[in-house]
């Protein structure tokens, strides 16, 4: 298990686990949590725990089947959003075999992510007599499970992660019964039938009973445009022109799906970009004021205030830390 103390550290950890995602912290305060990565043959498992709401975006790997769910007990869980859709608490998502990841999770989420070699997954489906769960049916990106199947799947995953934590403690033990690798392999063998049966018997699927949420494509279009123009001065009128929509539609779309207006989202993105620069640059060769100006913040005092509010530390502290790590 690897603890992290900021959103950028989490991004680097996920990238190292084969999940290069764009992450945006959606609420102020120093982010903390941990990542527990497991790999058993063709199956990669990740448990990600965060104490701040988070948006994750990025391309999917066409060679892997992705399945994502929240391990928090449904009675205690706050819903996540997948491509703007407010998910049921017993849903699994990320199933579509093409497209992108666009997932926002609440503070306190315990996300389990499974990434399975696509060909191996399809062969497991055949071996279990579930050929109907083919590539076409997995174009639907989420499915709500009945409470019993969801509980079984969640319990199996929790057992795997718990065994991994115990195995890490026993890794240097002379005890012959401490065999974490074997336990993981047996656990994954039990997990796959639970997962595949749950997907086959899902009670509600995207694209069948629910229409895509209003304005989500508009929001994603603007997000992609902002990604391509990281340093350009931008106004609300510019974004309306890019998306060919009214101010009201643009603002309502962002508020519906991200809980904030488009200009607040733009500020968050640029604060994250500034943090990456501060972590990368040498304090002997740059200043906080220079980094702020390069990311569109012309008032260094306001930048420092907003930066500290979001990340829980002054930008000068971040820049000094980058020099110490170098």
Contacts of residue 227, Cβ cutoff 8 Å, sequence gap at least 6: 22
Is residue 315 a contact partner of residue 291, using CB atoms and an 8 Å limit? yes
Domains of the chain as residue ranges with CATH: 2-205 (no CATH), 216-325 (1.10.10.60)
DSSP-based three-state secondary structure for 142: strand
- Would you place residue 177 in the very low, low, confident or very high pLDDT band (cuts 50, 70, 90)? very low
User: What integer pLDDT is reported at residue 125 of this predicted model?
Assistant: 83
Arithmetic mean of pLDDT, 141-155 = 88
Arithmetic mean of pLDDT, 238-260 = 89
pLDDT at 149 over 70: yes
- In terms of average pLDDT, the best of 172-176, 186-190, 272-276 is 272-276
- Would you place residue 325 in the very low, low, confident or very high pLDDT band (cuts 50, 70, 90)? low
Contacts of residue 31, Cβ cutoff 8 Å, sequence gap at least 6: 4, 5, 6, 7, 10, 25, 50, 51, 52, 54, 311, 312
User: What integer pLDDT is reported at residue 218 of this predicted model?
Assistant: 87
Of 97 and 170, the one with more pLDDT: 97
pLDDT at 80 over 50: yes
Residue in the structure block whose two tokens are 């089947």: 65
Distance of alpha carbon 41 from alpha carbon 64, whole angstroms = 13
Going through the chain in order, the beta strands assigned E by DSSP cover 2-4, 22-25, 33-40, 43-50, 54-59, 64-70, 81-82, 85-86, 91-93, 100-105, 110-117, 142-144, 204-205
Could you read off the pLDDT of 92-146 as tens digits, one per residue? 988 887 788 899 999 999 999 999 988 888 888 888 877 666 554 566 788 888 8
- Would you place residue 206 in the very low, low, confident or very high pLDDT band (cuts 50, 70, 90)? very low
User: What integer pLDDT is reported at residue 130 of this predicted model?
Assistant: 76
Q: Both tokens of residue 229?
A: 């123009």
The number of beta carbons lying within 10 Å of the beta carbon of residue 150 is: 21
Is residue 191 a contact partner of residue 183, using CB atoms and an 8 Å limit? no
């Amino acid at each position: 298990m690897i603890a992290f103390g900021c959103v950028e550290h989490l991004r680097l950890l996920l990238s190292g686990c084969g999940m290069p995602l764009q992450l945006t912290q959606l609420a102020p305060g120093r982010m903390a949590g941990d990542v527990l990565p497991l790999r058993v043959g063709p199956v990669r498992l990740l448990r990600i725990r965060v104490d701040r709401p988070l948006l994750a975006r990025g391309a999917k790997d066409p060679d892997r089947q992705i399945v994502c769910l929240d391990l928090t007990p449904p009675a205690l869980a706050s819903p996540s959003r997948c491509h703007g859709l407010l998910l049921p608490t017993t849903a699994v998502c990320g199933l579509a075999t093409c497209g992108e990841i666009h997932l926002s999770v609440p503070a306190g989420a315990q996300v389990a992510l499974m990434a399975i070699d696509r060909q191996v997954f399809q062969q497991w489906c055949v071996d279990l007599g579930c050929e109907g769960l083919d590539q076409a049916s997995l174009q639907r990106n989420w499915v709500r499970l009945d409470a019993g199947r969801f509980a079984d799947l969640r319990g199996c995953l929790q057992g795997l992660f718990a065994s991994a934590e115990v195995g890490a403690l026993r890794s240097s033990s002379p005890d012959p019964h401490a065999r974490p690798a074997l336990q993981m392999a047996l656990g994954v063998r039990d997990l796959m039938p639970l997962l595949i049966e749950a997907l086959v018997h899902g009670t509600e699927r995207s694209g069948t009973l629910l229409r895509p949420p209003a304005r989500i494509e508009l929001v994603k279009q603007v997000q992609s445009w902002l990604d391509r123009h990281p340093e350009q001065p931008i106004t609300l009128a510019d974004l309306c022109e890019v998306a060919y929509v009214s101010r009201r539609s643009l603002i309502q779309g962002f508020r519906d799906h991200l809980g904030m207006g488009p200009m607040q989202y733009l500020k968050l993105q640029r604060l994250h970009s500034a943090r990456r620069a501060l972590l990368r640059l040498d304090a002997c060769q740059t200043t906080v004021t220079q980094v702020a100006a390069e990311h569109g913040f012309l008032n260094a005092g306001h930048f420092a205030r907003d930066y500290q509010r979001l990340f829980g530390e002054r930008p000068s502290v971040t820049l000094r830390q980058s020099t110490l790590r170098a």
